[in-house]
């Protein structure tokens, strides 16, 4: 019997996608009401209609810009705070409760509070950053603390400079943790960012178009926008992870490579 692993990954992905589209289609046929569950062909037609409008591209562009800005800011800040807390016990003691609160607080609460604090157009940036920051912070901190003590001791014996320690020990140790965090957080950023657009009525945004579709019971259009969000998330994730992987290979510390080989 042919093993599951013998099928190429793209083929398995197509089979899985076809299966779930089939499930969706059967559910639509059983319900028989497009206002509840539109069929895949109806959603595809609506999506092509949206592709012919300038509002679609403007909404996508601004949503991507807002969420990407929040994601990038959180990654940079998370790296800084994670490194700081890994090397400074007082900073770790001071900042740990803050990140615990951020993790425990529902995103809807932050969105409502943000409506009072800042301009509604900046809320998706703020919320995306807020959801990403604790994960990146925790992964970077854990990556630094996981650095092999033997490598650190060897570096001390050979009197490595701070720059050499950073490049040869800590960056290879953090790299797989940071990659995993980036992959996880991209989905979080999209979910939180679009949710904030829905609640804050950000102009020219995917979230606002989703809300308008819900208000006017345009379920087919709402599904089309949802498919757009999923597709954009997958494309951006692939591009980002390809860039991260290329950078890791260039620096000779691929995902999963042990820090011991960096010296």
Q: Which of 208-235 are b and which e, b meaning 16 or more Cβ less than 10 Å from the residue's Cβ?
A: bbbbebeeeebbbbbbbbebbbeebbee
- Contact criterion met (CB below 8 Å) for 189 and 254: no
The more confidently predicted of residues 236 and 57 is: 57
Q: Give yes or no for residue 53 having a pLDDT over 70.
A: yes
Q: Give yes or no for residue 17 having a pLDDT over 70.
A: yes
144-158 per-position pLDDT tens digit: 888 777 777 776 777
pLDDT of residue 78: 92
Confidence of residue 14 (pLDDT cuts 50, 70, 90): confident
Range of the domain at 232: 45-262
pLDDT of residue 4: 53
Q: What is the mean pLDDT of residues 14-30?
A: 87
pLDDT, mean over the chain: 82
pLDDT of residue 77: 93
Q: What is the mean pLDDT of residues 237-243?
A: 81
Residue by residue, DSSP assigns 156-178 as HHTT--HHHHIIIIIHHHHHHHH
What's the total number of domains in the chain?
1
% of the chain surpassing 70 pLDDT? 91
For residue 71, give Cα distances in angstroms to 13, 34, 100, 136, 166. 27, 35, 19, 10, 24
Q: What is the mean pLDDT of residues 134-141?
A: 90
CATH number reported for the structural domain that contains residue 223 in this entry = 1.10.3720.10
The more confidently predicted of residues 130 and 248 is: 130
Would you say residue 3 lies in a domain? no
Structure token digits, residue 183? 């992959």
Would you say residue 171 lies in a domain? yes
pLDDT of residue 263: 33
Would you say residue 167 lies in a domain? yes
pLDDT of residue 214: 84
95-119 per-position pLDDT tens digit: 888 888 888 888 888 888 888 888 8
pLDDT of residue 92: 87
Give me the helices (H) in the chain, please. Answer: 9-31, 40-51, 54-87, 89-104, 107-117, 123-145, 149-157, 162-165, 171-200, 206-215, 219-250
Confidence of residue 61 (pLDDT cuts 50, 70, 90): very high
Greatest Cα-to-Cα distance within the chain, rounded to the nearest angstrom: 74
Would you say residue 8 lies in a domain? no
Would you say residue 12 lies in a domain? no
Q: What is the mean pLDDT of residues 15-38?
A: 86
% of the chain surpassing 90 pLDDT? 12
Q: Give yes or no for residue 3 having a pLDDT over 80.
A: no
Would you say residue 101 lies in a domain? yes
Phi, psi for residue 179 in degrees, rounded to 5: -60, -45
pTM of the model: 0.79
Would you say residue 143 lies in a domain? yes
Tell me the C-alpha distance between 81 and 89, whole Å: 12
Would you say residue 17 lies in a domain? no
pLDDT of residue 259: 39
């Amino acid at each position: 019997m042919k093993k599951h692993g013998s099928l190429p990954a793209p083929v398995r992905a197509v089979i899985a996608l076809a299966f779930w589209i089939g499930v969706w289609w059967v559910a639509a046929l059983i319900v028989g009401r497009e206002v509840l569950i539109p069929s895949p062909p109806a959603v595809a037609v609506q999506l092509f209609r949206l592709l012919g409008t300038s509002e679609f591209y403007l909404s996508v562009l601004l949503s991507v810009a807002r969420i990407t800005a929040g994601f990038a800011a959180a990654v940079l800040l998370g790296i800084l705070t994670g490194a700081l807390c890994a090397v400074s016990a007082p900073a770790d003691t001071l900042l740990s409760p803050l990140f615990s609160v951020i993790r425990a607080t529902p995103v809807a609460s932050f969105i409502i509070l943000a409506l009072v604090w800042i301009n509604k157009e900046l809320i998706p940036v703020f919320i995306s950053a807020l959801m990403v920051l604790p994960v990146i912070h925790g992964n970077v901190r854990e990556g630094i603390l996981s650095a092999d003590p033997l490598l650190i001791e060897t570096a001390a014996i050979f009197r490595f400079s701070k720059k050499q320690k950073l490049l040869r020990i800590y960056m290879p140790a953090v790299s797989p943790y940071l990659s995993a965090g980036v992959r996880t957080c991209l989905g979080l950023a999209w979910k939180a960012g679009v949710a904030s657009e829905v609640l804050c009525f950000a102009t020219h945004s995917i979230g606002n178009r989703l809300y308008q579709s819900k208000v006017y019971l345009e379920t087919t259009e709402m599904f089309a926008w949802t498919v757009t969000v999923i597709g954009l998330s997958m494309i951006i994730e692939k591009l980002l992870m390809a860039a991260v992987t290329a950078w890791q290979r260039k620096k000779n510390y691929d995902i999963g490579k042990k820090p011991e080989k960096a010296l």
